[in-house]
A and B are shown apart, each in its own frame.
Chain A
């Protein structure tokens, strides 16, 4: 079955440590996104990528980094500069990159990151 796989489901970070969240899709989608969700709040966009080897900052990119070396993969690194990383992280994708389409987002099942 096609879909988006996020791993791990739960992740713990120590102080000063960088951690990487994995996101893989086999839908052949061009665009991929990372969202952060805090308890009782909506989703905020961290980074997005519309094409391989290119990505743009979202609304809350500070303390995060991404890469898009392959179409199917869009890993997110939470760096030590992110002082409040505890949140639920959702990866998503869409077939195209915008334009006159009402494409929906396909979501992964998320990664819960907590600080030890």
Chain B
């Protein structure tokens, strides 16, 4: 079974600074998909960014980018120019190419301080 590990239960950053959230995963598959989801205090799950394992280029979405290291099975999320609205729980998630189910990590609570 696939596992997803987020080793940082909590992190904080000053507004306008950059922060990186870590995620590692374990799989024997060669192709798969990785996701970062954000869950603000409203508890609504919001997709932040996604990466396909066969693509070597790291995905970017405005202020959000990933550092995907396939050999190391690492998928970190970098948030640039942090904003107060980025305060949320962030979940890393994994999905096999052949499957439909998503496996989540335990989450990292990010607090952006003014």
Which residue of A has the minimal Cβ distance to B31? Answer: A100
Assess whether A107 is in contact with B97, with CB atoms less than 8 Å apart: no
Contacts A33-B101, A94-B100, A102-B33; A40 near B107 (Cβ below 8 A): yes
Assess whether B101 is in contact with A90, with CB atoms less than 8 Å apart: no
**Cβ–Cβ < 8 Å partners of A90 in chain B:** 45
Q: Is B47 an interface residue (CB 8 A)?
A: yes
Assess whether B43 is in contact with A109, with CB atoms less than 8 Å apart: yes
Cα of A21 to Cα of B37 in the assembled complex, Å: 23
**Cβ–Cβ < 8 Å partners of A104 in chain B:** 35, 47, 50
**Cβ–Cβ < 8 Å partners of A8 in chain B:** none
Nearest CB on A from B43, distance (A): 5
Tally of B interface residues using CB under 8 Å: 27
Tally of A interface residues using CB under 8 Å: 27
Assess whether A100 is in contact with B45, with CB atoms less than 8 Å apart: no
**Cβ–Cβ < 8 Å partners of A100 in chain B:** 97
* B-contact bits for A97-109, CB 8 A (1 contact / 0 none): 1111010110101
Nearest CB on B from A70, distance (A): 19
Which residue of A has the minimal Cβ distance to B32? Answer: A102
Assess whether A105 is in contact with B45, with CB atoms less than 8 Å apart: yes
List A78-114 residues whose CB lies under 8 Å from chain B.
Answer: 88, 90, 92, 94, 96-100, 102, 104-105, 107, 109-110
Q: Is A25 an interface residue (CB 8 A)?
A: no
Cα of A11 to Cα of B97 in the assembled complex, Å: 36
**Cβ–Cβ < 8 Å partners of A53 in chain B:** none
**Cβ–Cβ < 8 Å partners of A110 in chain B:** 43-44
Cα of A99 to Cα of B95 in the assembled complex, Å: 10
* 8 Å CB contact of B91 from A42, A48, A50, A98: A42
Q: Which 7 A-B pairs have the closest CB atoms?
A: A98-B100, A107-B45, A42-B104, A42-B106, A43-B104, A102-B33, A104-B47
**Could you tell me which A residues sit within 8 Å of B by CB distance?**
31, 33, 35, 40-45, 48, 50, 58, 88, 90, 92, 94, 96-100, 102, 104-105, 107, 109-110
